[in-house]
Amino acid sequence: MPSKFFRVATEGATTDGREIQRSWIEQMAKNFNPAKYGARVWLEHYRGVQPDSSFAALGDVLSLQSRPVEDGKLALFAQIEALPALLAMNKAKQKIYTSIEVDPDFAKSGEAYLTGLAVTDTPASLGTEVLKFAAQNPDASPYKGKKHSEGALFSAAIETDLGLEGDADTIASTLITRFSDLLKNLRGIAEPKPTPETTNDFAVKTLEVLGAADAAIQRQATELAETKTAFTKLQSDFAALTVKLSQEDGSGTQRPQATGTEGAAKADC
């Protein structure tokens, strides 16, 4: 999500005693093209080697403009695309000052070009001694090892409004909305469009499923009725057996009643 344009430099002091010339600002605004040479946003002008380091890039410069400001000076305004880490810093009120990296003779063209943008917590008003030291001791300057070329210079850090305050929630909301719309479009593409044939087929299959379900329910009802009848018969048989057994003599010593000896042979004495 692009930021609004905000001031990143004004013609005047740099970290090595030189001054940002008015013509440089005009040339940077005119010449800048990310497709030609992209300018990234860095923490304190450091360029991390590892993508997951504390000094990884924080965003990209998208466009530049030159505008007249107070005292008739010319200022450089930038529009950037901030990565989540920079959004978080800005929301926490950290690294709210910017310093440009400018090459006055970019690629031997004879004109200035913005090669990078840094965010910092050291404004020019509090960094006067550092700027003075760097200008008088160029070989010992703390900025020397950060420059991409010997002729490049950094501007004094000035307080800027990145245009991101209060925008983080809006950016997140916009991204979520766009993602939701994309999902809806993908669903519309993936889902087959109904045709008379597929509609009829679906209706037939639905009736077949409903018929099979009804048959299964009826079969279960029949089986349940048969099971209930069998259970009732078992209950009746069990009751009859219980009555019969209750009438039997349960003694183990009583002899059975004699029924006589008709028909038996008698002994010849």
Query: Would you name the residues annotated as active-site residues?
Result: 16, 45, 99
Query: CA dihedral in degrees (41, 127, 5, 181; nearest 10)?
Result: 40
Of 97, 92, 76, nearest to 159 (Cα)?
A: 97
Of 90, 87, 89, nearest to 172 (Cα)?
A: 87
102: which strand partners? 114, 153
The per-residue DSSP string of 71-89 comes to GG-EEEEEEEEE-HHHHHH
CB 15 within 8 A of CB 147: no
Structure tokens belonging to residue 236: 């009746």
CA angle 16, 26, 163 (to 5 degrees): 85
Of 85, 61, 89, 65, nearest to 2 (Cα)?
A: 61
Q: Which residues contact 118 (CB under 8 A, 6 or more apart)?
A: 41, 42, 43, 44, 45, 98, 99, 100, 101, 154, 157
CB 70 within 8 A of CB 25: no
Of 77, 75, 76, 79, nearest to 59 (Cα)?
A: 79
